[in-house]
Amino acid sequence: MKEDMSSIAKDLTSRVKLNDGVTMPLFGLGMYLSGSGQGGQAEHAVIHAVSTGYKLLDTAEFYGNEADVGRGIKNGGVKREDLFVVTKLWENGYDRCKKIFNKSLKMLDIGYVDLYLIHSPSTGKCVETYKAMLELKQEGLVRSVGVSNFGVHHLERLREAGLPTPSVNQIELHPWQQKKDIVEYCRQNGITVMGYSPLTKGQKLSDKSVLEIAKRHNKSPAQILIRWSVEHGFITIPKSSDPGRIEQNTDVFSWSLDQDALKILNGMPDWSCSWNPCITPWRG
């Protein structure tokens, strides 16, 4: 496995070293709204992705498909230890974390979780939840712990509580949601940045500028947006349940965006395709 300290993925096996020494793939498959159920879409998406070479899978308690992800891993013909599985806790609390983690691990049935994230700071109790996650790490059930949707003020409150720095912060990132203050804070404090909704949930794939850039580069609009994330050094996890698109989304390593394209994409106005818990007040 290659480890890329610059965080610019060169292929599906490129990894970045987290602040706890664990190495994490820079590219993976998002699982939100991938479906669920025996023999269903989510399981097939995982099987197709891992046989294509994807190493990173991003699920969550909230997505309701941890069991499907687990089955996909079992039936995908790839060794568990060659994959990196992320899941997240929806509603915070010390006891809830311990209880829900056990449920998540049972559903996934993969022995351990590579990265466990607080899904959002919006329900509060982040300090006690984070302490519970650190205990799971000590017990060897989780390899790394991190957060999602944390703004700078949330990260500062965790630091003030004397807790170890999270390894990862997963936030919405694409040209219309660059969250430069959070990215800068994370980079200065050794927190690896993981972007979600890199394709804007499909909502900007028909944007006039994106279409023009795609035509000029002879790539699809989706590939243009994923490449933008790759070039910014973000871990990225485009979601698709379609075998063709799962494969298409991996053709983002052997070419780069020209300077005009970067200038246009970097200059997009602020707009979000998702919820934005990064701005919620700190609730402890």
Ligand X SMILES: NC(=O)c1ccc[n+]([C@@H]2O[C@H](COP(=O)([O-])OP(=O)(O)OC[C@H]3O[C@@H](n4cnc5c(N)ncnc54)[C@H](OP(=O)(O)O)[C@@H]3O)[C@@H](O)[C@H]2O)c1
Q: Which residues are known catalytic residues?
A: 63
User: Which residue number has the CB closest to ligand X?
Assistant: 30
Residue from 202, 209, 212, 247 in contact with ligand X (CB under 6 A): 202
Choice between 22 and 89, CB closer to ligand X: 89
**Binding residue for ligand X, selected from 7, 16, 49, 58, defined by CB under 6 A:** 58
Q: Judged by CB under 6 A, which of 92, 123, 129, 200 binds ligand X?
A: 200
Under the criterion CB under 6 A, does residue 248 sit at the interface with ligand X? Answer: yes
> Which of positions 136-175 make contact with ligand X (CB under 6 A)?
148-149, 170
Residue 208 beta carbon to ligand X: minimum distance, rounded to whole angstroms: 17
Q: Is residue 207 a contact residue for ligand X (CB under 6 A)?
A: no
Please give, one letter per residue, the 3-state secondary structure of the chain: CCECCCCCCCCCCCEEECCCCCEEECEEEECCCCCCCCCCHHHHHHHHHHHHCCCEEECCHHHCCHHHHHHHHHHCCCCHHHCEEEEEECCCCHHHHHHHHHHHHHHHCCCCEEEEEECCHHHCCHHHHHHHHHHHHHCCCEEEEEEECCCHHHHHHHHHCCCCCCCEEEEECECCECCHHHHHHHHHCCCEEEEECCCHHHCCCCCHHHHHHHHHHCCCHHHHHHHHHHHCCCEECCECCCHHHHHHCCCCCCCCCCHHHHHHHHCCCCCCCCCCHHHCCCCC
Q: Is 8 near ligand X (CB under 6 A)?
A: no
Q: Please report whether residue 31 would count as binding ligand X according to CB under 6 A.
A: yes
Residues that bind ligand X (CB under 6 A): 30-32, 58, 119, 148-149, 170, 196-202, 205, 220, 222, 237-242, 245, 248-249, 274
